[in-house]
């Protein structure tokens, strides 16, 4: 997984819709973390007026259970949440899709969330969030397709 993600290092930009159906511009920077032991993602979603809807710093790395985890700290939740690797259907046209889940997605008594990263042969990246607040429906809430800046 790390090797595959590392083949997509760089800066990406794209347009998407947030959970309130507001348009945003997303900037994602994917880089190596700790000499290739993990992958770092910095992502910002800004509205047309410059308002920051979402800002995050995320780390994907092996966990102590010898699996994969994604830890994300962002401006929309009070804590850094660990998301465990889950199998997800590959997005249409994607080479591979990596999914990560926080909490049991069937437990409507808790906040639950998935983050999915789609990698395309073209070098583009899809980035998708699904979540449900306690007592609320779990569904896909926001996402976008990101295109590499300054392709060489």
Q: Is the pLDDT of residue 19 over 90?
A: no
Q: How confident is the model at residue 151 (pLDDT cuts 50, 70, 90)?
A: low
Structure token pair of residue 144 = 């976008």
Q: Is the pLDDT of residue 152 over 70?
A: no
Q: Is the pLDDT of residue 10 over 90?
A: yes
Cα distance between residue 112 and residue 107, in whole Å: 8
List pLDDT tens digits, range 55-109. 999 999 999 999 999 999 999 888 899 999 999 999 999 999 999 999 998 999 9
Do residues 72 and 83 make contact, with C-beta atoms less than 8 angstroms apart?
A: yes
Domains contained in the chain, CATH given? 2-143 (2.40.128.20)
CA triple 24-16-4, angle to 5 deg: 120
Q: How confident is the model at residue 141 (pLDDT cuts 50, 70, 90)?
A: confident
User: What's the pLDDT at 38?
Assistant: 95
List pLDDT tens digits, range 113-122. 999 999 999 9
Q: What is the DSSP string of 90-136?
A: PPTT-SEEEEEEES-TT-TTS-EEEEEEEE-TTS-EEEEEEEE-TTS
Cα distance between residue 78 and residue 8, in whole Å: 29
């Amino acid at each position: 997984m790390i090797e595959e993600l590392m083949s997509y290092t760089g800066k990406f930009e794209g347009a998407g819709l947030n959970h309130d159906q507001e348009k945003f511009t997303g900037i994602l920077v994917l880089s190596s973390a700790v000499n290739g032991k993990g992958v770092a993602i910095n992502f910002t979603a800004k509205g047309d007026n410059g308002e920051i809807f979402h800002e995050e710093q995320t780390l994907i790395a092996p966990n102590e259970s010898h699996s994969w985890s994604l830890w994300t700290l962002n401006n929309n939740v009070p804590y850094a949440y660990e998301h465990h690797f889950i199998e997800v259907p590959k997005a249409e046209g994607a080479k591979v899709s990596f999914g990560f889940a926080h909490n049991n997605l069937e437990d409507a008594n808790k906040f639950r969330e998935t983050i999915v990263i789609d990698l395309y042969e073209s070098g583009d990246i899809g980035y998708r969030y699904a979540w449900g607040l306690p007592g609320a429906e779990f569904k896909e809430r926001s996402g976008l397709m990101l295109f590499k800046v300054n392709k060489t």
